[in-house]
Amino acid sequence: EVQLVESGGGLVQPGGSLRLSCAASGFTFSDHFMDWVRQAPGKGLEWVGRARDKGNSYTTEYAASVKGRFTISRDDSKNSLYLQMNSLQTEDTAVYYCARIRRGIFSFEYWGQGTLVTVSS
Amino acid sequence: DIQMTQSPSSVSASVGDRVTITCRASQGISNYLAWIQQKPGKAPKSLIYAASSLQSGVPSKFSGSGSGTDFTLTISSLQPEDFATYYCQQYNSYPLTFGGGTKVEVK
């Protein structure tokens, strides 16, 4: 069974940093691109970014709203995806989901349950 | 960026009704279109990819169609577990973008 479990959310002050983790199990993590998607309270879904696999040199993509502040990384030996968030702003307050990307199709396939990040003073 | 516009933003329906949601892309995206369901307080769930292919385990009452800029999601016979918000999403190009969502509510 595919499982994606996010952790690391919490309350942080504006300008602060936070690192989210996504622990994957039930599939060969190294075979898949992985994404982060967020959802502000009462709002829709917003794509944050992507981490490609080893075959694609672990390259990344980011939404303009987070580029230069957020960094996505992965550790295939630990079956884990990470989101390092720096210079956090109040508008970054959201539930952050990790998602597995379908191989060869590149659509979202499975989602984690999410972790809440609150940026507030 | 490709803008995804869904209509209606909400729909009231009864159990057994047929419900259709439309999604329009601001430019052609071939069939790189997905539909995602989200229930209140829950994680999103992928339903359809490549405009019309069902995710494994998704019941056949869900169907998708379209190509280019215009797409539809149809629920053939609404059941209590189908009351949720539905999002379309394009993966033709970066940044990936979502529609604003369609809330399917009990009439």
Q: Quick: pLDDT tens for B3-13.
A: 999 999 999 99
Q: Is the pLDDT of residue B44 over 90?
A: yes
Indicate yes or no: CB of B46 within 8 angstroms of CB of A97.
no
The percentage of chain A sitting over the pLDDT mark of 90, rounded to a whole number, equals: 100
Find the closest chain A residue to B56 by CA distance. Answer: A109
Q: Where does the pLDDT of residue B106 fall: very low under 50, low under 70, confident under 90, or very high at 90 and above? A: confident
CA angle B58–A35–B73, rounded 5-degree value: 35
What count of other Cβ atoms lies within 10 Å of the Cβ of residue A34?
22
Indicate yes or no: CB of A108 within 8 angstroms of CB of B44.
yes
Mean pLDDT of chain A: 98
Say how far apart CA B61 and CA A105 lie, in whole Å.
23
Bridge partners, residue A37, by sequence? A47, A97
Q: Is the pLDDT of residue A102 over 90?
A: yes
Q: Is the pLDDT of residue B82 over 90?
A: yes
pLDDT at B107: 87
**Helices (runs of H) and strands (runs of E) counted in chain A:** 0, 11
Q: Is the pLDDT of residue A29 over 90?
A: yes
Task: Find out whether A60 and A49 touch, Cβ atoms under 8 Å.
Answer: yes
Distance from CA of A107 to the nearest CA of B (A): 6
Say how far apart CA A50 and CA A58 lie, in whole Å.
10
Bridge partners, residue A85, by sequence? A18, A70
Indicate yes or no: CB of B36 within 8 angstroms of CB of A37.
no
The whole-number average pLDDT for the span A35-58 is: 97
Distance from CA of A121 to the nearest CA of B (A): 25
Q: Is the pLDDT of residue A106 over 90?
A: yes
The percentage of chain B sitting over the pLDDT mark of 90, rounded to a whole number, equals: 98
pLDDT at A18: 98
CA angle A119–B101–A62, rounded 5-degree value: 50
Q: Is B5 helix (H, G, I), strand (E, B) or coil?
A: strand
Q: Where does the pLDDT of residue B74 fall: very low under 50, low under 70, confident under 90, or very high at 90 and above? A: very high
The percentage of chain B sitting over the pLDDT mark of 70, rounded to a whole number, equals: 100
The whole-number average pLDDT for the span B96-101 is: 98
Peptide bond into B44 cis (omega under 30): no
Residues of chain A that touch chain B, judged by Cβ-Cβ distance less than 8 Å: 35, 37, 44-47, 50, 61, 63-64, 97, 99, 102, 105-114
What count of other Cβ atoms lies within 10 Å of the Cβ of residue A110?
22
For chain B, the C-alpha Rg in angstroms (whole number) is: 13
Q: Where does the pLDDT of residue B102 fall: very low under 50, low under 70, confident under 90, or very high at 90 and above? A: very high
Chain B residues with beta carbon closer than 8 angstroms to that of A102: 49
Alpha carbon distance, N-terminus to C-terminus of chain A: 40
Indicate yes or no: CB of B44 within 8 angstroms of CB of A97.
yes
Nearest-by-Cβ selection for B45 from A105, A111, A114: A111
Cα atoms in the 13 Å half-sphere on the side-chain side of A4: 28
Mean pLDDT of chain B: 97
Chain B residues with beta carbon closer than 8 angstroms to that of A106: 32, 91
Nearest-by-Cβ selection for B43 from A106, A109, A111: A111
Q: Is the pLDDT of residue A22 over 90?
A: yes
Say how far apart CA A86 and CA B85 lie, in whole Å.
31
Distance from CA of A67 to the nearest CA of B (A): 11
Indicate yes or no: CB of A107 within 8 angstroms of CB of B91.
yes
Q: Is A91 helix (H, G, I), strand (E, B) or coil?
A: helix
